[in-house]
Structure 1
């Protein structure tokens, strides 16, 4: 997916947020923002928005000597998600179409971002989001694939979502599941640490993509990941960053996300905040 002009102010907003998390020193924050503005002027040299995001966040790490500015937020995300995990399991237990609702629960995990930042009632937010229908839902195509599939690759997104993804994975235990995360901390995305904290190592093989951007840039991924990606019977890609970097791939991918960004919503052809289960080909 191309970088749009509307992405540029979002880059600056994100890097300002990260700089404030990493340091209270306003002089350092100013230097970060000045360098970030220089990166923005060269945005046409990048293929994907997550590439720009990676450069932006590397500035924060470099200037503040902080490996993971979002470490506390990620832990809050996971702790909050664990609080609603019993509710999610009970909710799913009452449903007839368990695969559909497990996928919806997995997608709803994206609400953890807003819940933590806005200090809202997580359980109530999740209940409200579960009432929302998918705008695009290629569940029929996915179920057809599941009939003959043996292996599933799930490419994770943010840390809080991993607990919601656990609910999905527990409905797919008959399959060999690999769950892939970022190779190092970037924004609030999941790494191996957060995936293990959420208990995903119990029923899945955990790997990193080998890519340290807030997306999955195939050319930068490890040989291990690329082999699994190419040979998996089903690939489920979570979240917006993975959509931005994988939407033009020529293998079948099921994109599972909430289109929170107007640019991504426009690219897919849906409304902002719509839920999507999209088969790309």
Structure 2
């Protein structure tokens, strides 16, 4: 998915938010932002938004000397998600179409970072989100793939969301499941550390993609990941960053996400905040 002009101010907002999160030094914040504008000035040399995002957030690491700027946020998201995990399982227990609601639980996990800072309780936030139906839901295609397939690759997204993905993994234990995460800390995305903290290893083999961008740049991924990516019978890709980097690959990937960004919503053909399960 190509970078759009609407992405540029978003890059700057994200890097400024990250800088403010990790330093109170306004001069340092300004320096980071000015360096970020230089990257924006050369945006044509990048293919996708996550490639730009990686360099933006490397600036924060470099100037603040903090290698995992979102460490505390990720920890808090996982701890909060664990508190409502029993509620998710009980909710699922009462549903007739368990696959549909398992997918919805997994998709709703994508709001974890925003939910813990909202005015409502986290539980209230999620109950409200569960009431929203998928705008696009190609679940019949997925059912067929799950029936005929043996190897499932799930490409993870944010920390905290990983606990919601555990519900998905636990529902599909008849399959061999590989759960792939970022190779190094980037934004609030999950690495192997957060995947284990979310107990995903109880039902899936956890691997690194070998790529430290907030998406999947296949040319940079490890041979292990690329082998599994090519071999997997089913691929479920979580979140927007993975969509931006994989939606044009023609691999028939199932993208499971909430369209929080107008650029991505427009590309899929939905509205902002719509939930989507779509195969591309």
Length-normalised TM-score, structure 2: 0.99
Whole-angstrom CA distance in 2 between matches of 1:117 and 1:156: 22
Once the two structures are TM-superposed, the CA of residue 119 in structure 1 deviates from its matched residue by 5.0
Residue of structure 2 equivalent to 1:236: 236
The residue aligned with 1:112 is 112
Q: Classify the secondary structure of the residue corresponding to 1:129.
A: helix
CA RMSD of aligned residues (A): 0.8
Cα deviations across residues 48-101 of structure 1 (Å, max 9, x unaligned)?
000000000001101111101100111111111111100000000011111111
Deviation at 1:193, TM superposition (A): 0.6
1:89 maps to 89
Q: Deviations over 1:104-160 (max 9, x none)?
A: 100000111211233531101110101110000000000001111111000000001
Take 1:145 and 1:69, find their aligned partners in 2: how far apart are those partners?
38
Q: Secondary structure at the match of 1:201?
A: helix
Hey, what does 2:20 align to over in structure 1?
A: 20
2:221 equivalent in structure 1: 221
When the two structures are aligned, how many residues end up with a matched partner? 280
Residue in 2 that maps onto 1:75: 75
> Could you tell which deviates more after superposition, 68-77 or 117-126?
117-126
- Distance in 2 (CA, whole Å) between partners of 1:116 and 1:184 is 24
* Aligned-partner Cα distance in 1 for 2:273–2:44: 27
Q: Please name the residue that 2:47 is paired with.
A: 47
| Counterpart position of 1:268 | 268
In structure 2, what is the Cα distance between the partners aligned to 1:276 and 1:90? 23
Q: Unpaired runs of 5+ in structure 1? A: none
- Provide the C-alpha distance between the structure 1 equivalents of 2:192 and 2:111, rounded to a whole number of angstroms: 21
Alignment of 1:1-281 (within 5 A): 1-118=1-118, 120-280=120-280
For residue 246 of structure 1, report the CA deviation from its aligned partner.
Answer: 0.2
Taking the aligned partners of 1:102 and 1:112, their CA distance within structure 2 comes to 16
Distance (whole Å) between structure 2 residues aligned to residue 159 and residue 47 of structure 1: 25
Distance 1:134 1:204 in 2: 26
Unaligned stretches of 5+ in structure 2? Answer: none
